[in-house]
Amino acid sequence: MDAPEPHPTGAVPAPPVTARCGRRAGLATVVLASASPRRRQLLAAAGVPILVDVAAIDETPRPDEAPVDHVLRLALAKADAVARRHPRRVVLGADTVVVLDGRIFGKPADLDDARDILRQLSGRWHEVLTGVALRRRRPAWRMVWCARTRVRFHTLSEDAIADYCRRVNTLDKAGAYGIQEHGDRVVAAIEGLYSTVVGLPVEEVVTALAQAPISRERKRKKTAPRMQRPAQR
């Protein structure tokens, strides 16, 4: 399969989603450069075998940095940092943000911040961006892209916001909400992959992993003819 044409940012278009996934596609173990339990759960559900090695990087947005550039930069920085410790494995880095009117919303600083974010999202469409970076050092290979899903919120009363903050740990979620946790209380509609909002477009990731060098090597080994033993006399 030909490599996708790179975008000016260094990213490539998201891989087309295929039905095959995880161990059924013969994928090798992937190193996940993230402590996110939601990303681990998505990969496990898709049958992707993983190791976890968390990258410690500064995630502060740069001045005037576009949201897409921000998530791509952080995803690649996470993957690069961990790939140094696992040069012969494919490393997966990812970063997710909520974007409203061009403003980036990461994880809230405190409950007051979480409530304020939910007020701003109330009754409106916003975008969830997840930057994904797959990186292998030996042989050198990488794929970087940004997945987008549009989300519309219900119009939320102050009581609804307070109730949601009691039910969900909003402090560890970009945009102060998790679609997989009582999401029906805040989310009215989505356009795009559900998994992107959770934190990883796993359908696209599995398709991309099938193109990694390690996957091709494994396929060649599986199809290599077996040597026959000489007949005994």
Active site residues: 95
The amino acid present at 71, given as its one-letter code, is V
| Nearby residues of 209 by Cβ (< 8 Å), 6 or more positions away | 25, 27, 30, 48, 90, 134, 215
- CB-facing half-sphere around the CA of 227: CA atoms within 13 A: 2
What own/partner pairs with CB < 8 Å and gap ≥ 24 does 185-191 have?
Answer: 185/154, 185/160, 186/118, 186/121, 186/153, 186/154, 186/156, 186/160, 187/151, 187/152, 187/153, 187/154, 188/152, 188/153, 188/154, 189/151, 189/152, 190/149, 190/150, 190/151, 190/152, 191/149, 191/150, 191/151
Amino acid at 102: G
Alpha-carbon span 175 to 83, nearest angstrom? 29
The closest of 157, 158, 185, 181 to 171, measured between CA atoms, is: 181
- Whether the link from the prior residue into 87 is cis, omega within 30° of 0, is no
